[in-house]
Amino acid sequence: MQTYEFTLHLMPTGLPTDEEFELFDRQLSRVCSDALLVSYQDRCFLNFLRLAENEREAVLSALEDIQQAGFHVLEEDAPEQVIVSYLPCPAY
């Protein structure tokens, strides 16, 4: 197994409020302990360091995990071009 580093882009554009950002971070931390939620220049990203057999497995397992956290995959053409949407969800 090897560690793969990749970034998923979150949509829509525009930064969430501090409250939304903390909610998203809590939701993600339950299922993605290897991801860091980052905001930069009016965008949000998920930076992953994921252990897997190959890059494809790393990205696909990350996508499964973030969907489990209530996020929606908008585009999945290539590992470097995955776009994910976030919607405010009730706190658990």
pTM more than 0.75: no
Does residue 15 have a pLDDT over 70? no
In a domain, 42, yes or no: yes
Owning domain of residue 42: 2-85
In a domain, 92, yes or no: no
For the chain, the domain total comes to 1
Q: What tens digit of pLDDT does each residue of 25-55 get?
A: 787 788 888 988 887 777 778 888 999 998 8
In a domain, 79, yes or no: yes
In a domain, 90, yes or no: no
| Beta strands across the sheet bearing 43-52 | 35-40, 43-52, 2-11, 82-85, 72-76
In a domain, 61, yes or no: yes
Q: What tens digit of pLDDT does each residue of 54-78 get?
A: 888 988 899 888 888 777 665 544 5
Alpha helices in 1-92 (DSSP H): 18-31, 55-68
In a domain, 23, yes or no: yes
In a domain, 91, yes or no: no
Output the average pLDDT for the chain.
74
